Structure 1
Amino acid sequence: MAEGIDFKDLKRRMDGAASAFQHDLASLRTGRASANLLDPIHVEAYGASMPVSQVATVSVPEPRMISVAVWDQSMVQAVDKAIRESNLGFNPIVDGSTLRIPLPELNEERRKELVKIAHQYAENARVAARHVRRDGMEHLKKAEKDGDISQDDARSQSDRVQKMTDETISAIDKLLTDKEAEIMQV
């Protein structure tokens, strides 16, 4: 086969979209405590904005409790403020240099909001996979126009790119379905 496209690179980029989606889903609350729930929170520390994990140790001592052990005593108030001001609905209890965050039961309305957010994350991941497909298809069209590959090769490679895209979107949809079931589970 003549000059085509780099399928390994396309696969890597599509897998990147799916793994970014998986990371986004990990930050969604499902009723169980997870250290990942605090990933989106940034603290103003030492003149810069830092993730909580860079100023404290985040652990899960109980299924419905997150513990944040702040390393620097002077940062406790900043971490507390950042957690309270995040849109996650957490109310930390300050205990010395440790913050305990009890997770309240999720109500039906909040579960539905979380499912909507999960759907938004999924759509963003699908769009990212489609952008990768578009880049691959444009590369194929250019290669065919320049005479680098034949029309038959271009068609077979574009079918392969489409199949790869379909598989990625299918994987994203499965992750979404699993997370939706996890969120709605009472």
Structure 2
Amino acid sequence: MDTKTILNEATGRMQKAIDHLEEELLNVRAGKASPNALNGVMVDYFGSQVPVSGAASVTVPDARTILIQPWDKNMLRPIEKAIIDSNIGLTPSNNGEQIRLTIPPLTEERRKELVKQVRAEAETARISLRNARRDAVEAFKKAQKEGMPEDESKDGETQSQKLLEKFSKTLDEALSKKEKEIMTV
């Protein structure tokens, strides 16, 4: 294996960890309405399980409301039931035309819980980043035993560390942005 291959592999794994973290952070409700709050909610749509967004138009008319407008009026009840069964902590109100979800303001205690949850997600991503670096360093040591020049191997290990620092910085930025969003009243 050459330096470029090892570093590309490490970069790919680190990017996946960051992408996964960002996706997880989107699912953490910070007291603001977001269609992402319904990501895990599946509804029975003519015999197949689809996300709510596959059976209805999901919009956010204001910071505290999610509006769900089914394409088929017969879907109001199944969507409402799916939201209740999903335990996302939102109570749907159905007016016969559309379903409205009102996001309750977060209590200080709930905000702190969410920050803990977000930090735990970030720590998991951080571990993935370190694992990717460790695997890259091991790959360089193995490559050195198989004939890679020592200075090239050491150079690769240094570059692996720089990659880790770069992605850690990205992770920290995403984390602090989400924490700020959660703590903003």
What's the TM-score once normalised by structure 1's chain length?
0.88
SS at match of 1:59: strand
Matched with 1:60 is 60
Matched with 2:168 is 169
Decide whether the 8 Å contact of 1:73 with 1:97 is kept in 2: yes
1:102 Cα shift? 0.9
Q: Following the alignment from structure 1 to structure 2, what is the Cα–Cα distance between the partners of residues 135 and 47?
A: 45
Where do 5+ consecutive residues of structure 1 fail to align? none
1:49 and 1:119, CA in 2 relative to 1: closer, same or farther beyond 3 A?
Answer: farther
Which has the higher mean CA deviation after the structures are superposed, 9-18 or 115-124?
9-18
Amino acid at match of 1:139: A
Matched with 1:132 is 132
Q: How does 1:64-143 map to 2 (within 5 A)?
A: 64-143=64-143
Which has the higher mean CA deviation after the structures are superposed, 174-183 or 79-88?
79-88
1:47 Cα shift? 4.5
Q: Following the alignment from structure 1 to structure 2, what is the Cα–Cα distance between the partners of residues 22 and 67?
A: 24
Matched with 1:29 is 29
Amino acid at match of 1:162: Q
1:46 Cα shift? 4.3
Matched with 1:181 is 180
Q: Following the alignment from structure 1 to structure 2, what is the Cα–Cα distance between the partners of residues 73 and 20?
A: 35
1:5 and 1:140, CA in 2 relative to 1: closer, same or farther beyond 3 A?
Answer: farther
Q: Following the alignment from structure 2 to structure 1, what is the Cα–Cα distance between the partners of residues 119 and 155?
A: 32
1:120 and 1:48, CA in 2 relative to 1: closer, same or farther beyond 3 A?
Answer: farther
What's the TM-score once normalised by structure 2's chain length?
0.88
Decide whether the 8 Å contact of 1:71 with 1:97 is kept in 2: no
Root-mean-square deviation (CA, aligned residues, Å) is: 2.0
1:133 and 1:44, CA in 2 relative to 1: closer, same or farther beyond 3 A?
Answer: farther
1:93 Cα shift? 0.7
Amino acid at match of 1:144: Q
1:180 Cα shift? 0.9
Which has the higher mean CA deviation after the structures are superposed, 156-165 or 168-177?
168-177
Decide whether the 8 Å contact of 1:5 with 1:139 is kept in 2: no
Matched with 2:156 is 157
1:97 Cα shift? 4.6
SS at match of 2:69: strand
Which has the higher mean CA deviation after the structures are superposed, 66-75 or 16-25?
66-75
CA deviations over 1:46-71 (Å, ceiling 9, x no partner)? 44443222222211012211011222
1:5 Cα shift? 4.0
SS at match of 1:33: coil
CA deviations over 1:16-72 (Å, ceiling 9, x no partner)? 211221121122112221112222323344444432222222110122110112223
Residues paired across the two proteins, number:
184
% identical aligned pairs: 38
1:132 and 1:46, CA in 2 relative to 1: closer, same or farther beyond 3 A?
Answer: farther
